[in-house]
Amino acid sequence: MLVALAAIPILIAIAVRLSSSVPPGRGPAFLDRITQNGLFVGVTGVLVSIPLFLPLTVGVVAGDTVAGEAGLGTLRYLLVAPAGRVKLLLVKYAGAVVFCVVAPLVVALTGAAIGAALFPVGRVTLLSGDTIAPAEAVMRLILIAAYIAVSLLGLSAIGLFMSTLTDVPVGAMAATVVLSVVSQVLDALPQLEWLHPWLFSHYWLGFSELLRQPIGWDTFASNAWLQAGYVAVFGALAYSRFVTKDILS
Amino acid sequence: MNRRWLRWMPAVVVPAVIAAGIAAGSLPASAVDPLPAKSPAQVLALVAGHKVHALSGTLEQASNLGLPEVPQTGPSASAPTSWLELLSGPHTARVYKDGPAKMRIQILDKMAERDLVRNGRELWWYSSKDQSTVHVTLPNLVATPAGEEPPEDSVDPGFPDSSTVPTPAELTEKLLAKLDPSTDVSVGTDVQVAGRSAYNLVLTPRSQQTLVGSVSIAVDGENGLPLSFQVAARGQAEPAFALAYSSLTLGAPDPSLFDFTPPPGTAVKEVQPPPRPLGAHPGLDGHTGGSDVGRPQVTGSGWETVVGFRVGGDALAAEGLLTREPLLQQAMVAVPGGTVMSTSLLNVLLTDDGRIFVGAVPVEMLQAAATPR
């Protein structure tokens, strides 16, 4: 799955390299900047993958945590060991968190690498019009990956809960991915404005704050609080469900 | 079985605790000390005498003018609508200011940003969407020569910097006396803006005819800085226009913020500033170009003022701008004698014989002003 994610920025870079110049203002933001500065491939890659590809892979990983073991019939053998259900749940969630951290990093850094290989690299122009050195730009890319990692924690907690509900891993995966799409659709409806700050996908595109000068940390903080809330609620639900569940497989 | 229910406790307790925490956080902080009572004149004097020249903050703007919302995406978000786009829909901007000659305003858009940077005589406009830069070199200002820092005790730019000028207190008394026949000025209950206690100066038109319900300005109780500006329209619960700080830090921001060099790869457009010194007020008399064409015809007074133009010259351009704008065409409604663009604060009447009438009054009053007597 990480390879599939890494393919996204590579595809973008090759497509832009082979095509003629992209007119500014068309396509996803930053796409027109790639020919000037290869490091923008990383940003564009993250931007393109955040609505679907990253939630999809996180949904697959998180949905598989418990239901996957149940589906394979190995869950009861895991619980025979004196580790306890809480510990198993924590370890499973930790695995999903590691994926949340690694996946956006892979997209951003692969993008930066392929961009550096195919396009010139120079001082990076931020949204504010200021320019920063390439080394600092890579720092910002890592910050963006960290922001996305935090953003995906809530979704992975939802996936963990879904995974405790069923013995069919595909069901848990699908439910998680569908929820992420539903959340984004709700976020796009202006009639539901009161609901928007509570949707776990609301700050997903907020990483643009990290491309301003000075960095707007407010979004980072509100995003972290929101995701912490989702992790707490769905973590508690997953705990309750898992420790009361009758393990039959 | 009992034990089983106990296990579900966390799933109930955690959301409850979070909900309680949010509810507690959103309650108004009632423990704030009330500000000492002040008369409207004293509050105005506080504003006029404020010495806050260095700050950084975030401004939130929301409008509810009744105009159709500009789509945030898609091909229709073209350049000519940008001035309209600033009027409709919500916006967030970061403001940095250090003295009167150093300022930076960042309008934060989705995945884009528009910047206005002023450093002394250099004025830059940068838009990240099309990577365009506009550069203006301002002429020497009369009040602050060569963009130098003014002395500590100088009043706000806009007031001539001279000892013959009356004190802010006298000035506000005069202003209030002038406003009194048309406007009721009062100080409402204190408000909280950006976490600061502020006086709420409310200007209510005495006229029942105008569309403007009230104008309220929040003034920082400590230093007199205006913190928010709100215009309420008659018959509309939400404010028609609101501009307020959502966060504010006093003190000089990072000086490197004001150093702007156009990024490589952008087209820099040099614009010559208008020859008129910036201190002069480009008021309505700017149209008196000798001929009758374009000279405004003013009827009514105070809040009921209606300004009429005969189309020609600038006004023709204005009408073209109004009628060509696809977004505005949606807002145009045909009425007897012309078409009307109606917002909750301002009505514009384009008569069939080529005149434009603008006023914060109902359409009937515009029509009355348009009918020759």
- Hey, which of A119-128, A168-177, B270-279 has the most confident mean pLDDT? A168-177
Burial category of B139 from C-beta neighbours within 10 Å (exposed 0-12, middle 13-18, buried 19 and up):
middle
Cα A172 from chain centroid (whole Å): 18
Asked if B264's CB is within 8 angstroms of A36's CB, the reply is yes
pLDDT of the residue at B157:
42
Q: Which helix (H) or strand (E) holds B218?
A: strand B212-220
pLDDT of the residue at B144:
45
Asked if A233's CB is within 8 angstroms of B18's CB, the reply is yes
Query: Which one, of A185, A210, A209, lies nearest residue A199 by Cα?
Result: A185
Q: Has residue A237 got a pLDDT over 90?
A: yes
Asked if A241's CB is within 8 angstroms of B11's CB, the reply is yes
pLDDT of the residue at B159:
41
DSSP state at residue B72: S
pLDDT band with cut points at 50, 70 and 90 for residue B33: low
Distance CA B242, CA B191 (A): 14
A83 CB neighbour count, 10 Å cutoff: 12
Question: Closest chain B residue to A215 measured between Cα atoms?
Answer: B94
pLDDT of the residue at A24:
58
pLDDT of the residue at B323:
62
CB contacts of A232 in chain B (<8 Å) are: 14, 18
pLDDT of the residue at B313:
53
pLDDT of the residue at B166:
63
pLDDT band with cut points at 50, 70 and 90 for residue A29: confident
Distance CA A39, CA B18 (A): 40
Best mutation site among A48, A196, A240, A243 for testing chain B: the one with the most B CBs within 10 Å?
Answer: A240
Question: Is B51 among the domain residues?
Answer: yes
How many Cα atoms sit within 13 Å of B34 on the Cβ side? 6
Q: Has residue B238 got a pLDDT over 50?
A: yes
This model of the complex carries an ipTM of: 0.80
Top-confidence residue, B286 or B242: B242
Question: Is B13 among the domain residues?
Answer: no
CB contacts of A243 in chain B (<8 Å) are: 7
Smallest Cα distance from B253 to chain A, Å: 10
pLDDT of the residue at B345:
85
Burial category of B326 from C-beta neighbours within 10 Å (exposed 0-12, middle 13-18, buried 19 and up):
exposed
Q: What is the CATH number of the domain that holds B243?
A: 2.50.20.10
> Do residues B116 and B165 both lie within one domain?
yes
Burial category of B150 from C-beta neighbours within 10 Å (exposed 0-12, middle 13-18, buried 19 and up):
middle
Say if A93 is an interface residue toward chain B (CB within 8 Å).
no
Say if B1 is an interface residue toward chain A (CB within 8 Å).
no
Say if A117 is an interface residue toward chain B (CB within 8 Å).
no
Question: Closest chain A residue to B114 measured between Cα atoms?
Answer: A128
Top-confidence residue, A82 or B76: A82
Top-confidence residue, A183 or B194: A183
Q: Which of B215, B236, B271 is the last residue of a domain?
A: B271
Distance CA A183, CA A50 (A): 13
Top-confidence residue, B177 or A136: A136
Say if B88 is an interface residue toward chain A (CB within 8 Å).
no
Amino acid at B123: L
Top-confidence residue, B329 or A63: A63
> Do residues B158 and B264 both lie within one domain?
yes
Nearest to B15 among A24, A123, A233 (CB): A233
Which token pair is A106?
């892979």
Distance CA A166, CA A14 (A): 41
> Do residues B253 and B321 both lie within one domain?
no
Top-confidence residue, B282 or A218: A218
pLDDT band with cut points at 50, 70 and 90 for residue B42: confident
Asked if A127's CB is within 8 angstroms of B15's CB, the reply is no
Number of domains in chain B: 2
CB contacts of A212 in chain B (<8 Å) are: 106, 108, 113
Lowest mean pLDDT among B15-29, B176-190, B196-210, B271-285: B271-285
Lowest mean pLDDT among A119-123, B156-160, B202-206: B156-160
Amino acid at B365: M
Asked if A122's CB is within 8 angstroms of B264's CB, the reply is yes
Query: Which one, of B209, B242, B92, B135, lies nearest residue A216 by Cα?
Result: B92
> Do residues B221 and B355 both lie within one domain?
no
pLDDT band with cut points at 50, 70 and 90 for residue A20: low
Say if A136 is an interface residue toward chain B (CB within 8 Å).
no
Nearest to B260 among A125, A129, A243 (CB): A129
Mean pLDDT, chain B, whole residue set:
76
Asked if B254's CB is within 8 angstroms of A232's CB, the reply is no
Question: Is B210 among the domain residues?
Answer: yes
Distance CA B365, CA B371 (A): 10
A136-180 tens-digit pLDDT:
999 999 999 999 999 999 999 999 999 999 989 999 999 999 999
Q: Has residue A218 got a pLDDT over 90?
A: no
Residue where the block lists tokens 């790869």: B265
B287-340 tens-digit pLDDT:
444 444 456 778 877 888 888 877 655 555 656 666 666 666 667 788 877 888
Distance CA A127, CA B127 (A): 8
pLDDT band with cut points at 50, 70 and 90 for residue A18: confident
Q: Has residue A69 got a pLDDT over 80?
A: yes
Asked if A243's CB is within 8 angstroms of B111's CB, the reply is no
Helix (H, G, I), strand (E, B) or coil at B85: helix
Cα B69 from chain centroid (whole Å): 18
Cβ under 8 Å to A: B residues 273-292: none
pLDDT of the residue at A95:
94
pLDDT of the residue at B73:
42
Residue where the block lists tokens 């939630």: A55
Lowest mean pLDDT among A12-21, A60-69, B247-256: A12-21
Question: Is B281 among the domain residues?
Answer: no
> Do residues B326 and B354 both lie within one domain?
yes
Question: Is B30 among the domain residues?
Answer: no
Smallest Cα distance from A204 to chain B, Å: 12
B83-108 tens-digit pLDDT:
666 766 788 899 999 988 889 999 88
> Do residues B80 and B214 both lie within one domain?
yes
Nearest to A125 among B10, B18, B263 (CB): B263
CB contact at 8 A, B308 and B370: yes
CB contacts of A24 in chain B (<8 Å) are: 129-131
Say if A127 is an interface residue toward chain B (CB within 8 Å).
yes
pLDDT of the residue at A49:
92
Smallest Cα distance from A202 to chain B, Å: 13
CB contacts of B254 in chain A (<8 Å) are: 214
Question: Is B38 among the domain residues?
Answer: no
Lowest mean pLDDT among A37-41, A210-214, B3-7, B187-191: B3-7
Before A23, cis peptide (omega within 30)?
no
Question: Closest chain A residue to B105 measured between Cα atoms?
Answer: A128
Q: Has residue B160 got a pLDDT over 60?
A: no
Question: Closest chain B residue to A190 measured between Cα atoms?
Answer: B69
Where exactly are the structural domains of chain A?
2-244
Distance CA A127, CA A88 (A): 44
B343-358 tens-digit pLDDT:
888 888 888 777 888 8
Query: What is the number of helices (H) and of strands (E) in chain B?
Result: 8, 18
Residue where the block lists tokens 């600038």: B314
CB contacts of A164 in chain B (<8 Å) are: none
> Do residues B247 and B317 both lie within one domain?
no
Burial category of A238 from C-beta neighbours within 10 Å (exposed 0-12, middle 13-18, buried 19 and up):
buried
Say if B3 is an interface residue toward chain A (CB within 8 Å).
no
Say if B126 is an interface residue toward chain A (CB within 8 Å).
yes
Q: In sequence order, what are the beta bridge partners of B242?
A: B62, B230
Q: What is the CATH number of the domain that holds B336?
A: 3.30.310
Distance CA B61, CA B241 (A): 8
Distance CA B361, CA B303 (A): 8
Which string of DSSP letters, residue by residue, matches B222-250?
Answer: TT--EEEEEEEETT-SS-SEEEEEEEEEE
pLDDT band with cut points at 50, 70 and 90 for residue A182: very high
What is the C-alpha R_g of chain B? 25
Which residues form the domain of B366?
A: 291-370
Distance CA B327, CA B343 (A): 13
pLDDT band with cut points at 50, 70 and 90 for residue B148: very low
Best mutation site among A130, A164, A218 for testing chain B: the one with the most B CBs within 10 Å?
Answer: A130
pLDDT band with cut points at 50, 70 and 90 for residue B68: low
Say if B133 is an interface residue toward chain A (CB within 8 Å).
yes
Smallest Cα distance from B107 to chain A, Å: 9
Q: Which of B271, B302, B331 is the last residue of a domain?
A: B271
How many Cα atoms sit within 13 Å of A27 on the Cβ side? 16
